[in-house]
Structure 1
Amino acid sequence: MYTAWGNLVKLMSIARKTVSFMTALVAAGTLFVATAPVASAEDAEVATSSRSFPKVTTVRKDLFAESTSTSVDQDADWGGIEALDVPQTKSQAEKDAEAAEQAAAEAAAAQAASRSAARESLSTTSSAAASVPTPPASATGAAIAEYSLNFIGYPYLYGGTSPSGWDCSGFVQYVFAQFGVSLPRTSGAMMSVGSPVGSLAEAQPGDIIASAGHAAIYIGNGMVMNAMDYGAGTNTAAVAWVFPGGGYAIRRVV
């Protein structure tokens, strides 16, 4: 009897606790609902959203082909960038090849010019040798001086004695020989031919001016006609330039 009563008391205590818990739970739910914010029309205007790009619904099948192919309208305006003159750069190998090609072309042009000059020189020499002027009949000093001027531009040749090439004494010997006057071969020997002339102021056209190293024909006004060297050939020059140190002899043979 006592045991059954105790169990009943325990069950009633548990039931009271259960009812209290359920009551508290219902009260909490009511409180939550009562304090929940209520949305208004004004709040609805603040938070808005929209899609910023169109929705893609087409499935791309060949992404590589689509990414490498570009279609541009023919009349599209790119702001003038399509008309820019972009400089083309060259590699060092290309620059070296062009420089070598240019050097070869210049060398070939120089060789061609040299060959042309050589042919022209040979032609001039041959023409000069073939067109020897005829000396006048009178063998006067003035005639000799004037005749010597016909050989301006004829070539110089060391040891030569003809219009195809002569040295200083060979030239003087040749000119006088055209008038029947025989002279020695060297300039040093010519210093003693004919008769002496005291000074350049007394010299006359056709006189020989000679030193141990050079010989020339006086043409007047302090000038001589002579074969000088390979560069100058046969031409006129001042006595002071041809014989800078003096020490020459003036000889009259006609």
Structure 2
Amino acid sequence: MVAVAAACISLAAIAPSASAQSTTTDEAVTSSRSFPKTTTVKKNLLAESTSTSVDSSSNWGGIESLNPPQTKSTAEKEAEAKAAAEQAAAQAAAQAAAQAAAQAQQQAASRSQSRSSLSASTSSPSSTATVNPPDSASASALVAYAAQFVGVVPYVSGGNTPAGWDCSGFVQYVFAQMGISLPHYSGAQAALGTAVPSLAEAQPGDIIANGAHSGIYVGNGMVVNALNPKAGTVYTPVAYAYSGSYSIRRLL
């Protein structure tokens, strides 16, 4: 009996201790890896395949013999359009150059013929004159007379005849046909007659001159003048013919 009682007492003392130990264990739960760590790189199943191999004896129902239309990228289309535009521009430029060359040849032939006729008229009084003398001493007659020399008479430094003249020699010759004697120097011509205040008040027949150049005003901002050895006797805008200031003088 004593032994049984002692055993019961021992069990009663152990039970609370086990219960306390169980509670402590529940509050501190730990885990551990139950499977090995994977280090192998998985293949990307969504990546595009870069190469394939096909059995040469495979039969795909004739699809291998199809010839689908080839499409072009936007860059290729733009490059072709640019090349076509450049080719068209080159052809247009070549055509324009050919037309200009033909026109220049025609003008050169016409000028040569006119120059020959003019030389004949000035050297032989009995020949048929191609340059008509002024019909009056008016400004309009002077402008009409001067126009006959455009594109015909060359520029010759120091000249003052239809065989060749410089700027002031041209003005001197034209006014001489009107009975007005002028000096053969543009600076001196810029001081003759009556001064005109501005180009807006200029009239055809007025002289426009400075120390470097002179010409005859024909209206609309233009002068007829012996410009230079390359151009000869031509019409030019006032702003193109004169550098710097100039004087406008009225003699008619």
Q: Is the 8 A contact 1:146 1:219 kept in 2?
A: no
SS at match of 1:241: helix
User: Would you say how many aligned residue pairs link Structure 1 and Structure 2?
Assistant: 136
Paired AA for residue 205 in structure 2 = G
Which is further off, 158-167 or 138-147? 138-147
Q: 1:240/1:135 Cα in 2 relative to 1: closer, same or farther (>3 Å)?
A: same
Cross-structure match for 2:210: 211
Label 1:198 to 1:133 Cα distance change in 2 as closer, same or farther (>3 A): same
Tell me, which stretches of 5 or more residues in structure 2 are unaligned? 1-107, 122-129
Query: C-alpha root-mean-square deviation of aligned residues, in Å?
Result: 2.1
Amino acid at match of 1:148: A
Task: Report the alpha carbon displacement of residue 156 of structure 1 after superposing the two structures with TM.
Answer: 0.8
Q: 1:229 to 1:205 in 2, by over 3 A?
A: same
Aligned twin of 1:111: none
Q: Structure 1 residues 143 and 124 mapped into 2: Cα distance closer, same or farther (>3 Å)?
A: closer
Distance across 2 between alignment mates of 1:146 and 1:140: 10
Match of 1:134 among 120, 132, 149: 132
Aligned to 1:194: 193
- d(CA) in 1 for partners of 2:111, 2:134: 29
Contact 2:118 2:131 in 1 (8 A): no
> What CA deviation, in whole Å up to 9, does each residue of 1:200-237 have, x standing for no partner?
00000000000101000000000000001111110100
1:243 to partner: Cα distance: 1.1
Residues 223 and 237, structure 2, Cα contact 8 Å, conserved in 1: yes
Task: Flag the structure with larger Rg.
Answer: 1
8 Å Cα contact 1:204-1:219 kept in structure 2 = yes
Q: State the percentage of identical aligned residues.
A: 54
8 Å Cα contact 1:135/1:179 also seen in 2: no
Q: Which residues of 2 match residues 28-47 of structure 1 at below 5 A? A: none
Normalising to structure 2: TM-score of the pair?
0.50
Runs of 4 or more, structure 1, over 6 Å off, are: 118-123
* Structure-2 residue corresponding to 1:253: 251
Q: How do 1:116-131 residues align onto structure 2 when only pairs under 5 Å count? A: 125-131=115-121
SS at match of 2:148: helix
SS at match of 1:147: helix
Deviations 1:65-110 (A, max 9, x none): xxxxxxxxxxxxxxxxxxxxxxxxxxxxxxxxxxxxxxxxxxxxxx
